[in-house]
Amino acid sequence: MKIHRIDVWQKDLPIQGPAYKMALQTLTALDTTLVRITTECGQEGWGEVCPLGPAYQPQHAAGARAAIGEVAPHLLGENPLHIERINSRMHQALCGSLYAKSAIDMACWDLAGKAYNARVCDLLGGAINTEIPSYYAIGLSSPEEASAVAIKKQTEGFQRLQLKVGGRALEEDIACIHKVAEVLQSGTALAVDANRGLNVSDAMQLSAACRDIRFIFEQPCQTYEQGLHLRKNCHHPIWLDEVIEDVNCLLRAIRDNAADGFGMKQSRVGGISQMRTVREICAVAGLPITCDDSWGGDLVAAACIHLGATVQPSLFAGSWIAAPYIQGHDDPQHPIKISNGRLKVPETHGLGVIPDTRLLASPVITFTL
Ligand code: 0XW
Ligand code: MG
């Protein structure tokens, strides 16, 4: 089997409803990239990468397409089932840009599943359950708005809520946490996510002011070192997210006892292959994770579900997906939807999602043998 063609699409993802507000970013639209690998026999694998805007992390949509354009010519003629070799070829051709490479990696896993008549989760060791928990992120808002959303989303079946803080007066963050805590049902977990928007002093004060409220404190500060300092002065478990930029960062954080869990975005570390390694390391270390991504449509959502389905439930905090903010589906026949706060593991081979190209514009670039 050989890669005969690689097509790359750009697609706008306007946010349905109010802007998505985090400590350091407010988003109204995203720019995603879909990739299709086609073999000489016509078998297809799909991948996607969607940075959370150009200022969130060292990633951006045009950069993803440029990086994919850099590596694609080196992959023509390669066997897409040899995923380790594909990744090796990508790293030989381009240093870094793991987020961009994740789309190619995803497409290879999708294609492998179809070639081996298996779902991606089956290739990763098998789904432990037929559905997994999702969670809902409550954007920066007033205490009243946040608690209203918390009530609504718990009614919809979510058993984990993530409350965004940071980038505003500390008093507002503290008031929001208290207000949301008042409406948390028994069994609903709370994550307070600052997306690096707090300095150490404010993070310490927030934790102290909310010491009687049970939550995990996700990525409070900008840097890894600030997190280490906070850790000595915090009343809450600390989970790291944005600073875990690759598997080496994860190993360092575990060695340093820097975190009690990790909010993971599969594209950031390089895709399904690398996220499988994250899963294994955290399982050995007994550290819980989420299996998320920055943003994206059905393909990214499916990848997060397939990964999450293979994480031991005791160490799995859920998969966030962007579907609630996106109008329509890439694959209307197999849409990825949250139901009762949970996500069904796709049942068909590969990712279980095949984008309808009639819903896409023309590819922005195509590489062929
Ligand atoms: C909630 N998420 C997984 C979605 C947005 O990309 C932000 C992210 C997070 O937890 O930081
Ligand atoms: Mg986070």
Q: Is residue 55 part of a domain?
A: yes
Beta strand residue intervals within the chain, DSSP E: 3-14, 20-21, 26-27, 29-39, 44-49, 131-133, 136-138, 160-164, 189-193, 216-218, 238-240, 261-265, 289-292, 338-339, 342-344, 365-368
Q: Which residues contact 274 (CB under 8 A, 6 or more apart)?
A: 98, 102, 105, 246, 247, 266
Averaged pLDDT for residues 30-49: 98
Average pLDDT over residues 171-190: 98
Q: Which two tokens stand for residue 170?
A: 């500390």
Q: Are residues 229 and 205 in the same domain?
A: yes
Q: Give residue-wise pLDDT tens across range 138-158.
A: 999 999 999 999 999 999 999
**Residue that the structure tokens 């200022």 belong to:** 55
Domain match, 163 and 273 both: yes
d(CA 107, CA 218): 30
Predicted confidence at residue 100, as pLDDT, reads: 98
Is 14 a domain residue? Answer: yes
Distance CA 225, CA 206 (A): 19
Average pLDDT, the chain: 98
Indicate whether 335 and 229 sit together in one domain: yes
Structure tokens at 143: 């205490």
Is the Cβ–Cβ distance between 86 and 75 less than 8 Å?
Answer: yes
User: What are the catalytic residues?
Assistant: 164, 265
C-alpha 322 – ligand 2 centre gap (Å): 13
Q: What share of the chain is helix, strand, coil (3-state, %, to 5)?
A: 40, 20, 40
Q: Which two tokens stand for residue 317?
A: 């905090």
* pLDDT recorded at residue 186: 97
- Both 137 and 249 in one domain: the answer is yes
Tell me how far the alpha carbon of residue 75 lies from the centroid of ligand 2, in angstroms: 33
Residue among 294, 295, 321, 343 whose CB has most ligand 1 atoms within 8 A, to mutate: 294
Q: What is the pLDDT of residue 28?
A: 97
What pTM did the predictor assign? Answer: 0.98
Do residues 161 and 18 share a domain?
no
Tokens for 347, please give them. 């049942």
**Whether 252 and 314 share a structural domain:** yes
The stretch 100-104 carries a mean pLDDT of 99
Q: E strands within 245-344?
A: 261-265, 289-292, 338-339, 342-344
Residue at 100 is within a domain: yes
266 touches ligand 1 (CB under 6 Å) = no
Instruction: Tell me, in angstroms, the distance from the centre of ligand 2 to residue 368's CA.
Output: 38
Q: What are phi and psi of 39, to 5 degrees?
A: -90, 175
Question: Structural domain of residue 37, as residue ranges?
Answer: 3-117+354-368
- pLDDT one-digit tens code per residue, 343-368: 999 999 999 999 999 999 999 999 99
Tokens for 112? 């492998």
Q: For residue 224, tell me if it sits in a domain.
A: yes
From the number of C-beta atoms within 10 Å of its C-beta (0-12, 13-18, 19+), residue 328 rates as: exposed
Residue 294's CATH number: 3.20.20.120
Instruction: Fill in the DSSP letter of residue 358.
Output: G
pLDDT at residue number 108: 99
Return the ligand 1 atom nearest residue 195 CA. Answer: 11
Any atom of ligand 1 within 6 Å of the Cβ of 263: yes
Q: How many domains does one find in the chain?
A: 2
Look at residues 55, 57, 52 and name the one whose alpha carbon lies nearest to residue 32: 52
What are the pLDDT digits (tens) for 281-309?
Answer: 999 999 999 999 999 999 999 999 999 99
User: 76 burial class (0-12, 13-18, 19+ CB within 10 angstroms)?
Assistant: middle
Q: Rounded distance, CA 31 to CA 55, Å? A: 13
Residue 60 has phi, psi (to 5 degrees) of -155, 160
Q: Average the pLDDT over 21-49 and give the result.
A: 98
